[in-house]
Amino acid sequence: MMGPIPLCVLLPVTVLSVVVAVAAEEKAVDDQYTWPQWNLPLVRKRRTVPLTSPNFSAQPQPELSGTCGIECQRHLPSPSLDDLEQLLSYETVYDNGTRTLTSVSVQHLNEASVWSRNTSSSSRHKREVYGTDTRFTITDKQFSTKYPFSTSVKISTGCSGVLVSPKHVLTAAHCIHDGKDYLDGVQKLRVGILKEKSRRGKGGKGRGGKGKGKRRKGDKAKEEVQEKEETAGKGDRKGKGKSRKSRSRRSAESEKPSFKWTKVKQTQVPKGWFKGVADGLAADYDYAVLELKKAPKVKHMDLGVIPSVKKLPAGRIHFSGFDDDRPSNLVYRFCSVSEESNDLLYQYCDAKPGSSGSGVYIRLKEPGKKKWKRKIIGVFSGHQWVDVNGDGSQQDYNVAVRITPLKYAQICYWIHGDSSECQVA
Ligand SMILES: *[C@@H]1O[C@H](CO)[C@@H](O)[C@H](O)[C@H]1NC(C)=O
Ligand SMILES: *[C@@H]1O[C@H](CO)[C@@H](O)[C@H](O)[C@H]1NC(C)=O
Ligand SMILES: *[C@@H]1O[C@H](CO)[C@@H](O)[C@H](O)[C@H]1NC(C)=O
């Protein structure tokens, strides 16, 4: 019988990978660039009406398909002001199972906020999404419970999210609603924040959390992705013996962090996400905000607006989430953006289901200051099958939703409940 693996064998592997991850995070700074300042449009509440309670019958989807992506959206007309007011109107669902619909008005929709549809790159990059697996598992609590990693949270429906205010979490809309109905787990929605002290042996079996995110087996597309990534991952791990790999995995498991689960009081989803509202633009509205019952004592990350990631020297985005192939561990990655439109980013980051809803951030300097600052500029939507030419052909991409000035104004309004606090980003 094999005894427990001595700590001295485990330590170098784990510590090394964490140090590499943290160093990578530190290095990828766009030194010369500062956060642009934006005058935001105003998103104001028009009126709120009660709706019948939802059925909460939808099942989580590990992967979206048939998304009208960047190419496909080029064929669509720009939304009018009326359209935008429709798309940005939103539902609020409360923890008592009721919901309301709030219609909004949009004002000061100036040049800065309506980004011309063709400002972004139109070059057709050959897709090379899955190179080496560039994900880092942040097992060491010294890092995972410290900023910026500590802003990443787990959503009880099986997704990830990010703290964007003392008590608000940004995530993907599809983690809450499938376009037709709210997900099964939404009425008892909870958010898991990594705890500094783990309960040995018990892993992540905190209240609420597990059980909810049902395993979805037999999903062909999902398996395909996994296979691709695993093949790709091999190159990366060359040189590390197999036994070593499994040891480091085991060590990660013995250090499984535990979560403190916090109840969600209310959830807001833009109407643009709902079936039949957005006509091909739904992918742009794959975001939602959860308000927690109690504010966790964890620093959040501010939102930011950036018109083009590709134009930054490093051109990289970062995000951390809870990929479901590494249960209960926080996984961090960074990568380049391969193509972008006003509302969407395609990128090369490796990701598995479970990381959907992660906050995508970059780091730039604050104007007139020496220090750089991280801000959330998008929400990771996930691996998707995207309509390319409107002729039924599909391609797979990793897609993130960009926070445009309008979406910033809306999310800011959700967070503050007062649009006068949301005039500048
Ligand atoms: C709930 O489900 C019933 C039966 O499937 C359907 O008729 C009803 O429209 C649904 N209600 C909502 C609010 O989705
Ligand atoms: C449900 O909660 C909301 C918000 O707290 C409240 O406005 C509403 O009256 C409640 N409805 C019921 C039926 O309890
Ligand atoms: C967008 O494209 C149109 C035609 O392709 C062009 O006339 C216009 O100047 C472009 N706008 C910007 C801001 O590049």
80-116 pLDDT, tens digit each? 999 999 999 999 999 999 999 999 999 988 755 445 4
Is the pLDDT score of 61 beyond 80?
Answer: yes
Q: 384 falls in which pLDDT band (50, 70, 90)?
A: confident
The pTM score is 0.79
Which residue is closest in CA terms to ligand 3's atom 4?
Answer: 118
Q: Which ligand is nearest to the CA of 53?
A: 1
Is the pLDDT score of 153 beyond 90?
Answer: yes
Q: 114-118, 120-124, 159-163, 421-425 — which is least confidently predicted? A: 120-124
Give the pLDDT score at 302: 96
Give the pLDDT score at 268: 98
CA–centroid distance, residue 330 to ligand 2 (Å): 35
Give the pLDDT score at 29: 53
Q: Residues, the chain, total?
A: 425
**Ligand 2 contact, 37 CB (< 6 A):** no
Q: Which ligand is nearest to the CA of 50?
A: 2
Separation of alpha carbons 178 and 163, rounded Å: 22
Separation of alpha carbons 290 and 155, rounded Å: 10
CA–centroid distance, residue 204 to ligand 1 (Å): 34
Give the pLDDT score at 22: 64
Closest ligand 2 atom number to CA of residue 94: 2
Which residue is closest in CA terms to ligand 3's atom 2?
Answer: 118
Give the pLDDT score at 191: 98
Q: 188 falls in which pLDDT band (50, 70, 90)?
A: very high
Which range, 104-113, 150-159, 324-333, has the best average confidence (pLDDT)?
150-159
**Ligand 1 contact, 231 CB (< 6 A):** no
Q: Which ligand is nearest to the CA of 52?
A: 1
Q: Are strands 372-387 and 64-68 parallel, antiparallel or unpaired?
A: parallel
pLDDT tens for 281-328 read 999 999 999 999 999 999 999 999 998 888 887 788 999 999 998 877
Which range, 187-196, 220-229, 262-271, 397-406, has the best average confidence (pLDDT)?
262-271
Query: To test ligand 2's pocket by mutation, which of 96, 101, 291 has the most ligand atoms within 8 angstroms of CB?
Result: 96
Q: How far is CA 161 from CA 88, 120, 170, 176, 255, in A?
A: 20, 27, 6, 12, 22
Q: 132-136, 159-163, 218-222, 271-275 — which is least confidently predicted? A: 218-222
Which residue is closest in CA terms to ligand 1's atom 10?
Answer: 55
Which range, 47-51, 124-128, 199-203, has the best average confidence (pLDDT)?
47-51
**Ligand 3 contact, 118 CB (< 6 A):** yes
Compute how many other C-beta atoms are within 10 angstroms of the C-beta atom of residue 296: 17
**Ligand 3 contact, 116 CB (< 6 A):** yes
CA–centroid distance, residue 54 to ligand 1 (Å): 7
**Ligand 1 contact, 55 CB (< 6 A):** yes
Closest ligand 3 atom number to CA of residue 117: 1
Give the pLDDT score at 213: 36
* Percent of the chain predicted with pLDDT > 90: 46
**Ligand 2 contact, 96 CB (< 6 A):** yes
Residues 122-134 have a mean pLDDT of 46
Closest ligand 1 atom number to CA of residue 53: 13
DSSP conformation class of 196: S
Question: Which residues in 19-40 are b (16+ Cβ under 10 Å) and which e?
Answer: eebbebbeebbbeebebeebeb
Residues 18-40 have a mean pLDDT of 69
Q: How far is CA 362 from CA 143, 287, 292, 368, in A?
A: 18, 18, 25, 18
Please name each of the domains of the chain with its CATH number. 28-421 (2.40.10.10)
